[in-house]
Structure 1
């Protein structure tokens, strides 16, 4: 099990009142990630991704809606779906703080989130952005070549800007015969007009806010076209881009880091 470190102030020996600690448990950690668990995760990803992409729900007005995700949020949901069902730990760090599936309760940080895997995902999604995939050794580890990618691995679009800062995420769905299938969430107008939305009291980065900028997941694939060239086709929009994979860095979740 992953460790939760709890400290309490020292008191006089005569003070017999116990120090009470309350935990926020989104799901229980029952074991650590092992190579067997990691392999099982990769095997399970295609079915999880397809389920989430087709997910429907009833809104407050009785209408049927499709689930929507930003690009990094879709990757987080896939991870949490598997880890929570298997009783495995998750630790995701952002510039704000690190989020764990079991934490010491803090009303300011946990009060509005349900004690469920969805609650954890919503909490982490609020501040976790595409650049957080580049926290190598913390959130992710690198994958050295496209040929080594596995379902559930992350493609971060970074190499098309001078800062090499990730601004879009794709999740590997399948790998076979020189073809890499992907799913991707996307962002709507709230992503480019976030300052305006915040002035209006809305937060398009918050998946439980009515202004959430996520969109229905799209599906696409890369086809190897040369020694180091991979052409891309988005099957949802029909868009085709030659040699597109060169714009991405390749990552895998840092499963060993989740154990710490």
Structure 2
């Protein structure tokens, strides 16, 4: 929790999530969805960071004339609790425009606005903030459908009550997947950003790289394992860290929740 000034470092985390999504009536060719999620995160070495996160979202995909053209609208709400009380509530709304540029290739431009209300009595003051995100991504798939690439560029602005929490963040992400067989895919995720704070003179540069494998044990059960490295270079010593990362997750889709499957 670097917001309160303690030394930032990589920590162990155990998490469990459940998410359900239901399709709603929509115009022919369009899709409308309503989803709800419950997430529990536990930090064995720092229980003050434990979180229970309640989420809800609504999406509408509007088909447009042209090659795979769509407008996508999304509204999402989140409510976070620590072991005792509320930590924050957040509301976001966004819109994306998608279009095909060539066979097996897609371009998407997205904007999102949001507001986060921090429980100052339970945490710290000055963190209530507005946010603005602009994002551009491009995806490509090989002819044999084995290779998949997704590249993203984005700029995000945060405007907090106290400017020591306000910043401009510019970043990029790359996802590469390769299908080894019908039930197994290897992947590489690379991401990085530069973050400039408006007050306090703090500048951060973060880089993260992970390699992993996801394997379908059955039609509804998928396991994922990854390992890699994360580094955060900061001109404030207690915000500077690096180290290895490792993750293992198990995903199950219930028969009545076919639209939840990714």
TM-score if structure 2 supplies the norm length? 0.25
TM-score if structure 1 supplies the norm length? 0.25
Higher helix share: 1
